[in-house]
Chains A and B, each alone.
Chain A
């Protein structure tokens, strides 16, 4: 079996920091990135041209950090293709779904930008000026966390599971903060407030369905050239119409990265490449059993 048949590209959603060596010393990769940056700035936001990784700009801006992460991921995707490195599966972690669509040639680069913008506006139209947030809780089981939420009647839900004892939650900011406190008292080894102010993947966002669906139906989706796995139910999504539903549901449906990685391993994947700025999923993979390698894109390119 060739390595290509065992590889999965995973596209993350947000950047928390930029790496010192943004392009791993590759002039080709850098060139692709700046071409995409120029394209993105003329398509959705002129200010993107002011991107500066040394100044760490856009990290605090919830939509711009998505644009930058998306175009960095798309640049990696294009660079890997140029080098003849192709996966047999792609997955979009959280809002990384748009990069996954780009890599699998379902949507164009510009369409991905428009999807990000439209999703953001759909979410903001529901949340308005309300205070929402997300947090991670490590060290408790799903059952423990669910009991805490129920017993304290919190407007919070588990919106992703990263490993057996690592969860992401979304909800109202007030209740998210209560949860982080009571989870620690209950024995969580770590809780962390994420740098986002919107409750991604939460049922709070159910009402985005209508407006986001309307927009998605204006975008052309091709059949995927590389298989895309759903983080919602871990099936391989083949049909453009099903991919549209996946993108719509992604906004308000809980995900399960842990199950997704295990499913990919069951499908024979033994090499995972995190195609974004960081290595959060690489670190997380230490807590998932199996015979596989997991690299950040930059580490893989340096190999």
Chain B
């Protein structure tokens, strides 16, 4: 369970930006923290799942997908910035992320 450093924050942001630029075939400079993932980029839940898998592998996270799903029900993600924040919380809290939702 790593502490979130500036390095990790930047790494997560870079991964998320590059991932959506490639998957949605848009220029990187068109993406900002306020970009809406589904409405503006045409993203989908499979992409969300793929990102989770990328971060699970990269940071060796111990978290069940359904825990993330339960968290997302209470904290829906619409924008790139919200997604980055959620990924940072997942990295920091893993399965305990649900305790934050209470």
A188 CB contacts on chain B under 8 angstroms: 66, 69
Per DSSP, are chain B's interface residues mostly helix, strand or loop, or mixed? helix
Count contacts on B: residues with CB < 8 A to the other chain. 16
A284–B46 Cα gap in the complex (Å)?
8
Contact residue among B52, B53, B69 (Cβ-Cβ distance under 8 Å from A184): B69
Complex alpha-carbon distance, A140 and B67, angstroms:
10
* Given known A-B contacts A189-B45, A190-B45, A286 and B50 have beta carbons under 8 A apart: yes
A residues 84-123 touching B (CB-CB < 8 Å) = none
Neighbouring A residues of B73 by C-beta, 8 Å: 184-185, 187
Q: Which residues of A contact B49 (CB under 8 A)?
A: 138-139, 165, 189-190, 287
Chain B, residues 58-102, CB within 8 Å of chain A (1/0): the string is 000000111111101100000000000000000000000000000
Known contacts A138-B45, A138-B46; A187 and B53 CB within 8 A of each other? no
Collect the chain B residues with CB atoms within 8 Å of residue A141's CB: 66
Q: Which of A101-156 contact B (CB under 8 A)?
A: 138-141, 144
Q: Does A283 contact B (CB under 8 A)?
A: yes
Complex formed: what's the CA distance from A190 to B66 in Å? 10
Residues of A contacting B69 in the complex (Cβ-Cβ under 8 angstroms):
139-140, 184, 186-189
B48 within 8 A of A: yes
In the bound complex, how far is the Cα of B52 from the Cα of A189, in angstroms? 11
The answer on a CB contact under 8 Å between B45 and A140 is no
Residues of B within 8 A of A140 (CB): 65-66, 69
> Which of B46, B48, B50, B68 is within 8 Å of A187, CB to CB?
B68
**What's the Cα separation between A140 and B46 when bound, in Å?**
13
Asked if A189 meets B72 with Cβ closer than 8 Å, knowing A138-B46, A140-B65, the reply is: yes
Question: A189 CA to B49 CA in the complex, in Å?
Answer: 8
Closest beta carbon of chain B to A89's beta carbon, Å: 25
How far is it, in angstroms, between the C-alpha of A187 and the C-alpha of B72 when the chains are bound?
A: 8
Q: Which B residues contact A (CB, under 8 angstroms)?
A: 45-46, 48-50, 52-53, 64-70, 72-73
Q: Which residues of A contact B (CB under 8 A)?
A: 138-141, 144, 165, 184-190, 283-284, 286-287
